Homo-oligomer: A and B are copies of this chain.
Amino acid sequence: MPDFVSDFMQIALEEAKAAAERGEVPVGAVLVNKTGEILAKSGNRTEEMSDPTGHAEMFVIRQAAARCRSPRLNDCDLYVTLEPCTMCAAAISFARLRKVVFGAYDPKGGGVEYGARFFTQATCHHAPEVVGGVEEKASEALLKEFFEDLRD
């Protein structure tokens, strides 16, 4: 049996690398249904799209929901290279995702294990299973390289 988690995280990492090449913060995401079919994949596109909500997670959720013609994506799983921020955590909850697998932890901007910890709030009405730290080093390395290059 192939290691699906690792496979999907590799695809998310490719999206993150492509984002960096476009000058975007290198975060990538893949949204998968319960049979393992990829419904959407994307990197960050905040600058390209002039969209303050343009995180990778938001694009894959919106694209997959449009494709499924439903604002609810029950039994679907999200793979993303960085801990989702608070905005994306709430969007994940609204979309009723089953599971979120993420790479690097984000103490400064995360909303799952840090900050608002949205899934633990009384105002959160659906919480997915969460697995953090998958391909953590590769995810972190992309972000570190990007921000080091910015400072040069």
Identify the A interface with B (CB < 8 A): 46-47, 49-54, 58, 61-62, 65-66, 68-73, 85-91, 94-96, 108-111, 114-116, 118, 121-125
Q: Which residues in B have their C-beta under 8 angstroms from that of A115?
A: 121-124
Q: Which residues in B have their C-beta under 8 angstroms from that of A49?
A: 66, 71
Given A47-B71, A116-B86, A118-B116, does the pair A52, B123 have CB atoms closer than 8 Å? no
- A11 → B minimal CB distance (Å): 22
Ordered by A's residue number, 6 sampled pairs between the chains whose C-beta atoms are within 8 Å are A50-B69, A50-B70, A50-B71, A52-B96, A53-B95, A86-B123
Measured in the bound complex, the distance between the Cα atoms of B85 and A15 in whole Å is 29
User: Are A66 and B52 in contact, CB atoms less than 8 angstroms apart?
Assistant: no
- A88 → B minimal CB distance (Å): 8
- A23 → B minimal CB distance (Å): 12
Measured in the bound complex, the distance between the Cα atoms of B86 and A89 in whole Å is 9
Q: A51-B65, A52-B71, A87-B90 are in contact. List 20 more A-B contacts (CB 8 A).
A: A47-B71, A50-B66, A51-B71, A52-B72, A52-B73, A52-B95, A53-B58, A53-B94, A53-B95, A86-B86, A86-B87, A86-B89, A86-B121, A86-B124, A87-B87, A90-B90, A111-B116, A111-B123, A115-B121, A116-B118
